[in-house]
Chain A
């Protein structure tokens, strides 16, 4: 499948996967992550149950310190 991840098209072998699997595949291990799938905010408790499929627009934001 192809998804848009942080404004870039990325291709994965799997047909679909959940957010936990996506983060593992991309090696995103940072604690303070904000995930949006097609504009919807996905809570941490919903990572394992939220499916990402072909054509989805995914935003992974690292909330790092500084301001």
Chain B
């Protein structure tokens, strides 16, 4: 598929991104670059200096709402992307309301309780929708531990092992890998599997 055709398809699509931290901000950037038509962003937090080691914000955006700062950054990359922002702490009814019109939903929360909340909401109220989750990306190194797997419409990206801890902080490389893996999974859902790509491993 040519990039012209890819853009043509993607511009008609809407992707919901729940959380605009390390996963959400980087995933949104990748999707805006390839031309997804509409992104629906939600996060209640402000940009802090400590976020800049992995999240797609700039030093001069410290103190801004993350959704506002991210919208600004996405427009600088692709002025054609449409962005809807919600600066709220999502509850189950918000998730259903905000994301029910999306073609795919990306889970990009940091807290396990929130990850469960969206999984439960999508499973029970939007069972026809794909949910792409990020689970396990703290620390550095161990490239080959990072992977993805699928169960029906649920796709999990990450190592599923490394939680955040004082001695195991989230850092740009691994967080960015998982965020882009989520964006890559979104493309496969929206565009289908690329027939012109080699899918077997070299032996």
**A48 at the binding interface (Cβ < 8 Å):** no
Decide yes or no whether B58 CB sits under 8 A from chain A: no
A32 contacts B113, CB within 8 Å? yes
Q: Which residue of B lies closest to A57 (CB)?
A: B151
Which residues of chain A in 21-44 are interfacial with respect to chain B, using CB atoms and an 8 Å cutoff?
Answer: 32, 34, 36, 39, 41
Please, which residues of chain B bring their CB within 8 A of the CB of A34?
A: 116, 119
Q: Is the C-beta of B21 less than 8 angstroms from some C-beta in chain A?
A: yes
One of B84-92, B103-111, B189-197 contacting the partner: B103-111
Number of A-B contacts (CB under 8 A): 70
**CB contact under 8 A between A66 and B119, given known A32-B112, A61-B156:** no
Instruction: Chain A residues near B107: list those with CB within 8 A.
Output: 67
Considering only residues 136-174 of chain B, those with a C-beta below 8 Å from chain A are 136-138, 149, 151-152, 154, 156, 158, 160-164, 170
**Is A66 a contact of B116 with CB atoms below 8 Å?**
no
16 A-B residue contacts at CB 8 Å? Answer: A32-B112, A32-B116, A34-B119, A57-B151, A61-B135, A62-B160, A63-B116, A63-B135, A64-B160, A65-B112, A66-B22, A66-B170, A67-B109, A67-B111, A67-B134, A67-B137
Residues of B within 8 A of A (CB): 19, 21-24, 107-113, 115-116, 119-120, 123-124, 134-138, 149, 151-152, 154, 156, 158, 160-164, 170, 175
* Chain A interface (Cβ < 8 Å from any Cβ of B): 6-7, 32, 34, 36, 39, 41, 57, 59, 61-67
